[in-house]
Amino acid sequence: MSTAEHAETNRRDFLYIATGAVGAVGAALTAWPFINQMNPDASVLALASVEVDLAPIAEGQEITIKWRGNPVFVRHRLAAEIEAAKAVPMSDLIDPLARNANLPDGDQATDVNRVVGGKEQFLVMMGVCTHLGCVPLPNQGDYAVVEGSEKHGGWFCPCHGSHYDTAGRIRKGPAPQNLAIPQYSYLSDAKIRIG
């Protein structure tokens, strides 16, 4: 192979590589608007966190808010609900894990590990059954506290019969896990931010 042929080959290889590189950059720049439009818009990003005022929630009352398209239960528990949850031996639980996004993954599902900041009167958890994603009904099920003729705390998913106790832990039925606790923090004694 002569020097002229070798130079021609190198120049041709360079032109092929340069053309391919320019084509790849052009394809990426052309595709970018289509890829970028798949990012969440401002309205979705605004739902990334939500603040909840706890002051109007009376003892024994529960509210449901929407966060990231899912229901979140915020319950002001009665003392009887807290005591019932604390009295449950860990060996009685189907799911021994806290499932609390505010704690390390392996923490036990004690009542204290199901709340944040030691404020045991407020239980904040995702309102989505861990079996098939239904929404459990509050103040129902075999593990609600009965005072007089009323049930307090506890959740029941009528779709397939999952029963959750007063700390949102699965106790009976096909659901494999406790109701998840989202990441949240206290902004003050009467206000939280979820997310």
pLDDT in tens, 4-27: 566 566 877 888 888 988 988 888
| pTM for the structure as a whole | 0.73
Q: Is 160 a catalytic residue?
A: yes
Q: Which residue, 179, 192, 152, 169, is CA-closest to 86?
A: 169
Q: What is the pLDDT of residues 137-155, one digit of tens each?
A: 999 989 989 888 888 889 9
pLDDT of residue 109: 92
Q: Which residue, 73, 70, 74, is CA-closest to 48?
A: 70
19 HSE (CA, 13 A, CB side) = 6
Mean predicted lDDT score pLDDT of the chain: 88
Q: Which of 10-24, 101-115, 121-135, 160-174 has the lowest mean pLDDT?
A: 10-24
pLDDT of residue 44: 62
Q: How many CB atoms lie within 10 A of CB 126?
A: 21
185: Cβ contacts below 8 Å, ≥ 6 apart? 102, 116, 117, 192, 193
How sure is the predictor about 40, in pLDDT bands with cuts at 50, 70 and 90? Answer: low
pLDDT of residue 18: 85
Q: 3-class DSSP state for residue 142?
A: coil
Q: How far apart are CA 169 and CA 29, in angstroms?
A: 50
pLDDT at residue 132 is higher than 80: yes
For range 41-59, the mean pLDDT: 81
Q: Which residue, 51, 47, 53, is CA-closest to 68?
A: 47
94 HSE (CA, 13 A, CB side) = 17
Q: Which of 6, 152, 160, 163 is catalytic?
A: 160
